Structure 1
């Protein structure tokens, strides 16, 4: 299920190291809440070391138990935060924006394939074998240590630890991402990736993949839970966030570079997605 316009979007706080780790241990599994249904623009990997907990994602409740890894894709609607459903446990979660791993389309990056899966985004549970769980916990602790102690080279080390976690996760997933095996959807995403920075409409994409706009809308919505225009907007705004974070370009110039030559329209689209104007977001990042 795609994120509707009335569901608030939680943005990732831009920083020199775009990775965040949360660790809960001993007094029940409870993470900071965002009131009501919400979505976020970052990826989330959760690992249950012991105990049980539950997430409700895109209308489905996932009951998680010891040894589970759980992934939540960008744009998924989370109805409530993690809650303890049993004895006190231990849980780790890693949050990171797609651009920390995939500068282009995150859905096509092999390390992020588990976040697509058969569910076309949303949530997915992957069982970590008992023999691998100590290694998983150690990798999470090492990542947390690098981010906390901030020693020389910690940014590179943190990215390396995240990569190792994603490689381990990918090795546990035995299915091919649904979108990767659908030539039509792959063609749509390729068009969006190639042309998002210029004028691009549903009609343009439909013509390039050889379908009518109505038929293409139906196919993409059924396959991904979103419309073509929503995917175009997501790609443009993701690039806008990257440029706002990593460059000193004026906001108007960034708008032009991501396909919004009208500064006012760019500001409205950005505010609708992130709750603040681009310049405000740049100086006052949201907290995940």
Structure 2
């Protein structure tokens, strides 16, 4: 990840295709600590503070962070150690679990009603909101129900967990409408027209042979300049965003169709079936066929 020319770590989580691509954990005591320096995530994050009297975060505080946003001590308003003593919940998820198509770029997030709050954050990369006191018991219950479904894994837990996550994100979206003059309406891409152009090109052409040079030509910049601009603003290169979009569609096709793996590869811009399999394994730790068999 690049932040002002510096490299920062990216934290991810492993969630196999056999279950919901969502994780929940309670925050409390030592678990309330965050990494001491700047960092980012490759997933969507919702963190809710239910109890405690930390100087950085207090009861009712809600934080939403998008993939690639660089966060750190200044995001939280002080020393991460100040979070010690608070309690609450964190939910991590991929857009796939919502059936969000397309969902591989901020352009698409802004168009999705449940992901839009994640692209209207403060300059620090995080949106901070306050849950009204009378609504906090319902928020606590929502997190607890989601956590129980994922922990107990009873029949139908995948559908139940997706439903609870959807309702939680509906609450986030409703709360976001009143933040900073309307977070949902004030999308980050309104201030980043270049990124909008880049993601539009990727969305229109990811199924074709598409290179960095092609995207650069479409937006009128040199490949080197475009790479630097996109990496500095999103933490990923143009080629990584192209791959991300292709992998998203590949996962959808593998899970929802009986098309041969080679045909899926061709449909997402990989005419060479062997190369598609290598890229898929690199990104997911398994072959396309292995993913389909466990989905």
1:249–1:193: structure 2 CA closer, same or farther, 3 Å change rule?
Answer: same
Aligned to 1:95: 92
Contact 1:11 1:42 in 2 (8 A): no
- 4+ aligned runs moved over 4 Å, structure 1: 6-9, 37-41, 75-79, 83-89, 119-124, 145-157, 280-285
Provide, for residues 142-197 of structure 1, a one-character-per-residue CA deviation record: whole Å limited to 9, x for no partner: 33455566778765554343233223223334432212443332222122112111
Shift of the alpha carbon at 1:119?
5.7
| Corresponding residue for residue 204 of structure 1 | 214
Judging changes above 3 Å, is the alpha-carbon distance between structure 1 residues 135 and 180 closer, same or farther for their aligned structure 2 residues?
A: farther
Counterpart secondary structure, 2:89: strand
Q: 1:234 maps to which residue?
A: 244
Show the 5 A alignment for 1:42-121: 42-51=43-52, 64-75=57-68, 89-101=86-98, 102-105=100-103, 106-108=108-110, 109-118=112-121
**Any unmatched runs of 5+ in structure 1?**
55-62
Write the distance in 2 (CA, Å) between the matches of 1:142 and 1:19. 13
Unaligned 5+ runs, structure 2: 73-79
TM-score by structure 1 length?
Answer: 0.72
Q: For the Cα contact (< 8 Å) 2:68–2:235, is it kept in 1?
A: no
C-alpha distance in structure 2 between counterparts of 1:227 and 1:271, whole Å: 20
Give the SS at the match of 1:111.
coil
Give CA deviations for 1:67-125 in whole Å, capped at 9, x if unaligned: 2223343346799xxx9866655322223221223211343323212323346896544
Aligned length in residues = 272
Does the 8 Å contact 1:237/1:270 carry over to 2?
yes
CA contact (8 A) 2:54 2:85 kept: no
Is 1:134 the counterpart of 2:127? The answer is: no
RMSD, aligned α-carbons: 4.1
Change in 2 beyond 3 A, CA 1:178/1:40: closer
SS, match of residue 209 in structure 2: coil
Cα contact 1:53–1:64 (8 A) shared by 2: yes
